[in-house]
Amino acid sequence: MYSSVPPMPELPEVETVMRGLQHRLQGRTISRAVLHRADLRFPFPPGLAKRLTGARIIGFRRRAKYILMRLAGGHSLLIHLGMSGRMLLGPAHPNAPVLHEHMVLETDDGWRVGFIDPRRFGAVDLVPTETEDAHRLLIGLGPEPLEKTFDPAVLGASLANRRTPLKAALLDQRTIAGLGNIYVCEALFRARLSPRRLACTVTGPRVERLVAAIKLTLGEAIAAGGSSLRDYVQPGGELGYFQHAWKVYGRPGQPCERCPGQPACPGVRRITQSGRSTFYCPRTQR
Nearer to Zn ion, 54 or 252 (CB): 252
Run of H or E including 12: helix 11-25
Nearer to Zn ion, 259 or 271 (CB): 259
Which residues make Cβ contacts (< 8 Å) with residue 9, sequence separation at least 6?
Answer: 17, 65, 81, 85, 240, 241
9 has catalytic annotation: yes
Report the nearest approach of Zn ion to the CB of residue 250 (Å). Answer: 15
DSSP 207-259: HHHHHHHHHHHHHHHHHHHHHHSBTTB-TTSBBS------SSTT-TTSPPTT-
Q: Find the catalytic residue in 10, 13, 106, 186.
A: 10
Q: Choose which of 185, 233, 248, 281 interacts with Zn ion (CB under 5 A).
A: 281
Calpha distance 62→218 (Å, rounded): 14
Nearer to Zn ion, 65 or 283 (CB): 283
Site string for Zn ion, 238-257 (x = CB under 5 A): ------------------x-
Footprint of Zn ion on 83-112 (CB under 5 A): none
Three-state DSSP at 61 gives strand
Which span sits near Zn ion by CB under 5 A: 47-55, 138-146, 184-192, 259-267? 259-267
* Residue 259 interacting with Zn ion (CB under 5 A): yes
Read off the DSSP letter of residue 41.
S
Which residues make Cβ contacts (< 8 Å) with residue 275, sequence separation at least 6?
Answer: none
Report the nearest approach of Zn ion to the CB of residue 137 (Å). Answer: 38
10 has catalytic annotation: yes
50 has catalytic annotation: no
Q: How many CB atoms lie within 10 A of CB 132?
A: 18
Nearer to Zn ion, 262 or 274 (CB): 262
132 has catalytic annotation: no
Q: Find the catalytic residue in 19, 24, 63, 65.
A: 65
- The count of residues interacting with Zn ion (CB under 5 A) is 6
Nearest in space to 14 (alpha carbons), one of 252, 128, 180, 201: 180
Binding residues for Zn ion, rule: CB under 5 A, are: 256, 258-259, 281, 283-284
Which active-site residues does the annotation give? 9-10, 65, 276
